[in-house]
Amino acid sequence: MSKYLLNKFLFTVDRDPELVERYREDPRELVTWWESTVANSLLNCHSGEASTWLEFTPAERDALIERDHVRLFEMGAHPFLTLTLFIAVFERDNTEPLEYQKAYGAALSGFSLPYPDIAT
Amino acid sequence: MASIVAVIASTHHPFYYRASTSTGADRPPFADEWTRKILAFRETLTRANPDVLVMVGSDHFHQLWLDNMPQFLVGKAPVYDANWYNEEREFGLPRMTLKGQEDLSSHILRAGLDEGFDLAFSNELRIDHSITCPIITLRPEADLPIVPIYTNIFAPPLPRPTRFVDLGVAIRKIIEEWPSHLRVAVIGTGHLSLELGGPRQFGPHGPDPAFDERAVAWIANGDLDGCLREVTLDSLHAPGNATHGFMDFMLMMGVAGAGAKADYVDTFDLFHTMEAYFTWYPNGAPA
């Protein structure tokens, strides 16, 4: 399991308006593309250098494709990163204030303290 | 030597800008009261008449990332651009530009290292809402040079609470030893109980009002001993999964000094958090 890579996905997509839209419109395409092109890139580093070993487990890949924030929480993805990206993807569908945000929390109601470890 | 004319601690709610600038049907019912409280809080800084602001906050995975995560970082740049695309997107925050005070940055870095803190530095730091929110609330003119100091309250492993207090004590000493005639205000923002991305988020109040009540009392009374008896890295999960930001309040208690009662205290209970505002005047309240 790579909590770091999950977080790297959430971090890099959240900061890029184009990637946010691609994740909203076709999550399978975006996750597949991201893993093959971005996952091993060294952020803030000149091109030509990359890591060689980062990849999602099947469960992680599925959770991202299914945009399943409950499973991501369970896996220990950083909750702030998941929340802020998923708000970007889904908040625009709200019909009343904080509708998505409250539903997001309610979907996690099965969790009690201690929450899954988010240390990477 | 420089003088610390105010020490200020507050929460940094990113919705304040949108709430306070909204009009008509878009203006939330709590906006007027929130604005009144902020204007009173702002006056506590204005009266101190500072020349420079040392600003403690926490990057929210904007510029600082898990490939090179510092625990404590001091900005040393002539200019700081501020706020990020996803903060415009979610909170409507404006892009901002703030002047730096590089001489004080250099002094804090040198003296901080000599005091035993392995401070990271950045010559190009784009700052986010943990530092721009107190600019918006306390100094909307954004006309004073700043020294930003970022702490890691976000990416485990975190420094322990005592380390934050100790850094605050050191920052106080370091600023007061700065060979300058300038008047310095130290402003830090943190959280009381807070949950983000978890089952207790966005409730009608903060996730743990009982913790908030104790926390406000610790800060208002400068009760560092009482606070450190109860607060540990492990215990801070209980009041909410983002409550480790309380350690930035503890850092500011270190700046203010053990036993120093705040000269100004106010709170505001919002829909998912308790806002809290504190000001100390180390040299006495200005006339």
Q: How far is A79 from chain B (nearest CA, A)?
A: 5
Neighbouring C-alpha atoms within 13 Å toward the C-beta of B219: 31
Q: Do A105 and B202 touch (CB under 8 A)?
A: yes
Token pair listed for B253: 């208690």
Residues of A in contact with B66 (CB under 8 A): 4, 7-8, 11, 120
Confidence (pLDDT) at B85: 95
Q: How many pairs of residues across A and B have Cβ atoms under 8 Å apart?
A: 82
| Sign (positive or negative) of CA dihedral B111, B116, B117, B119 | positive
CB A85 within 8 A of CB A106: no
* Pairwise CA distance, residues A89 & B238, whole Å: 29
User: What digits encode the pLDDT tens for the residues B202-237?
Assistant: 999 999 999 999 999 999 999 999 999 999 999 999
Does the pLDDT at position A1 exceed 80?
no
Is residue A34 in some structural domain?
Answer: yes
Beta bridge partners of B81: B97
CB-CB under 8 Å, B89 with A11: no
Residue A120 has a CB neighbour count (10 Å cut-off) of: 18
d(CA B216, CA B94): 30
Q: What is the pLDDT of residues A26-45, one digit of tens each?
A: 999 999 999 999 999 999 88
- Encoded tokens for A19: 């990637």
What pTM was computed for the model? 0.97
Residues of A near B (Cβ–Cβ under 8 Å) read 4, 7-8, 11, 14-15, 17, 42-44, 69, 73, 78-84, 87-88, 91, 98, 101-102, 104-106, 108-111, 113-115, 117-120
Distance from the Cα of B84 to chain A's closest Cα (Å) equals: 8
| Residue A68 included in any domain | yes
**Inside any domain, residue A59:** yes
pLDDT at A48 over 90: no
Query: Chain A: nearest CA to B85, how far in angstroms?
Result: 7
Q: Is residue A113 part of a domain?
A: no
Nearest-Cα residue of chain A relative to residue B235: A114
Distances (CA, A) of B124 to B26, B78, B100: 36, 9, 11
Chain A positions touching B155 (Cβ under 8 A) are 78, 120
Chain mean pLDDT for chain B = 97
Identify whether the C-beta of residue B112 lies closer than 8 Å to the C-beta of residue B105. no
Are residues A115 and B84, on separate chains, in Cβ contact within 8 Å?
no
Measured between CB atoms, which of A11, A84, A111 is closest to B199? Answer: A111
Tens digits of residue pLDDT in A98-113: 999 999 999 999 999 9
Task: Please state, rounded to an integer, the average pLDDT across all residues of chain A.
Answer: 96
Complex ipTM: 0.94
Identify the helix (H) or strand (E) that includes residue B217.
helix B209-221
Residue A11 lies in a domain: yes
Return the pLDDT at A47: 83
DSSP H helical ranges for B67-177 = 85-91, 102-114, 129-138, 161-176
Could you tell me if residue A120 is inside a domain?
no
3-state class (DSSP) for residue B143? coil
Residue A44 three-state SS: coil
pLDDT computed for residue A46 by the predictor: 86
Q: Which residues of chain B have pLDDT under 70?
A: none
Residues of B in contact with A78 (CB under 8 A): 61, 154-155, 197
Tell me the C-alpha distance between B42 and B26, whole Å: 24
* Residue of chain A whose Cα is closest to the Cα of B61: A11
Tell me how many degrees the CA angle B146-B148-B151 measures, rounded to the nearest 5.
160
No. of H helices and E strands in chain A?
Answer: 7, 0
User: Do B130 and B53 contact (CB within 8 A), yes or no?
Assistant: no
Whether A98 is covered by a domain: the verdict is yes
Alpha-carbon distance of A47 to A37, in angstroms, equals 12
* Interface mutation target, options B15, B18, B66, B90, chain A, most CBs of A under 10 Å: B66
What is the enclosing helix (H) or strand (E) of B189? strand B183-190
Which residues from B are below 8 Å from A when comparing CB atoms?
60-62, 65-67, 84-86, 89-90, 154-157, 195-203, 237-238, 241-242, 271
Chain A residues within 8 A of B198 when measuring between CB atoms: 73, 79, 105, 108, 111, 115
Total domain count, chain A: 1
Cβ–Cβ gap B84/A15 under 8 Å: yes
Residue A118 covered by a domain? no
* Amino acid present at B53: L
What pairing do the DSSP bridges indicate for beta strands B72-75 and B79-82? Answer: unpaired
Q: Domain range for residue A73?
A: 3-43+52-107
**Confidence at residue B91, expressed as pLDDT on a 0 to 100 scale:** 95
Task: Confirm if A73 and A79 have CB atoms less than 8 A apart.
Answer: yes
Segment B5-38, tens digit of pLDDT: 999 999 999 999 999 999 999 999 999 999 999 9
